[in-house]
Chain A
Amino acid sequence: MTETFYDVMRRQGITRRSFLKFCSLTAASLGLAPAFAPKIAHAMETKPRIPVLWLHGLECTCCSESFIRSGHPLAKDVILSMLSLDYDDTIMAAAGHNAEAIVTEIVEKYKGNYILAVEGNPPLAEDGMYCIIGGKPFVEQLKYAAESCKAIISWGSCASWGCVQAAKPNPTRATPVHKVPGLANKPIIKVPGCPPIAEVMTAVVAYLLTFEKLPTLDRQGRPQMFYSQRIHDKCYRRPHFDAGQFVEHWDDEAARQGHCLYKMGCKGPTTYNACSTVRWNEGVSFPIQSGHGCIGCSEDGFWDKGSFYERLTDINQFGIEANADAVGGTAAALVGAGIAAHAGLTALNRAKQPGAEKQ
Chain B
Amino acid sequence: MTVRNTPNGFHLNDAGRRIIVDPVTRIEGHMRCEVNIDEDNIIRNAISSGTMWRGLEVILKGRDPRDAWAFVQRICGVCTGTHALTSVRAVEDALKIKIPENANSIRNLMQLSLQVQDHLVHFYHLHALDWVNPVNALKADPNATSLLQQSISPHNPKSSPGYFRDTQNRLQKFVESGQLGPFKNGYWTNPAYLLPPEADLMAVTHYLEALDFQKDIMKIRTVFGGKDPHPNWLVGGVPCAINIDGVGATGAINMERLNLVSSIIDRTIAFIDQVYIPDLLAIAKFYKGWMYGGGISGQSLLSYGDIPDDANDYSASNLLMPRGAIINGDLTKVHEVDLRDPEQIKEFVPHSWYKYPDESIGLHPWDGITDPHYSLGPNAKGTRTNIEELDEAAKYSWIKAPRWRGHAMEVGPLARYVIGYAQGNKEITEQINFVLKTLDVPVTALFSTLGRTAARGLEAQWAAGKMRYFMDKLITNIKAGDLATANVTKWDPETWPASVKGVGFTEAPRGALAHWLKIENTKIANYQCVVPTTWNGSPRDEQGNIGAFEAALMNTKVERPEEPVEILRTLHSFDPCLACSTHIMGPDGAELTQVKVR
Contact = CB atoms under 8 A, between A and B. Distances in A.
A265 to B, nearest CB: 10
A61 B226 contact: no
Contacts of A174: 54
Contacts of A250: 234, 236-237, 239, 241, 485-486, 488, 491
A130 B373 CA distance: 10
Contacts of B372: 126, 130, 171
A92 interface: yes
B3 interface: no
Contact of B386 (A26, A136, A195): A136
Contacts of B77: 59-66, 195
B598 A25 contact: yes
A237 B251 CA distance: 9
B488 A251 contact: yes
Contacts of A288: 226
Given A65-B78, A164-B71, A286 B226 contact: yes
Interface string B58-82: 1100001011001100111110100
B181 A282 contact: no
A332 interface: no
Interface stretch (B306-314, B461-469, B574-582): B574-582
Interface residues on B, range: 35 or more
Nearest to A75: B211
Contacts of B227: 197, 275, 280-281, 285-287, 290
Nearest to B74: A164
A282 B219 contact: yes
Contact of B579 (A60, A94, A237, A259): A60
A133 B212 contact: no
B281 interface: no
Nearest to B21: A96
- Chain B: interface secondary structure? loop
A27 to B, nearest CB: 8
A223 to B, nearest CB: 19
Contacts of B248: 256-259
Contact of A74 (B184, B212, B398): B212
Interface residues of A, number: 116
A292 B78 contact: no
Contacts of B320: none
Contact of A135 (B22, B55, B182, B211): B22
Interface stretch (A180-188, A211-219, A302-310, A333-341): A302-310
Interface string A35-70: 010011101100111010000101111111110111
A19 B70 CA distance: 50
A292 B234 contact: yes
Interface stretch (A97-105, A144-152, A346-354): A97-105
Interface of A: 5, 22-23, 25-26, 29-32, 36, 39-41, 43-44, 47-49, 51, 56, 58-66, 68-71, 74-76, 79-80, 83-86, 88-102, 105, 120, 123, 126-138, 163-165, 167-172, 174, 194-195, 197-198, 237, 249-251, 255-259, 275, 280-282, 284-292, 295, 297, 303, 306-309
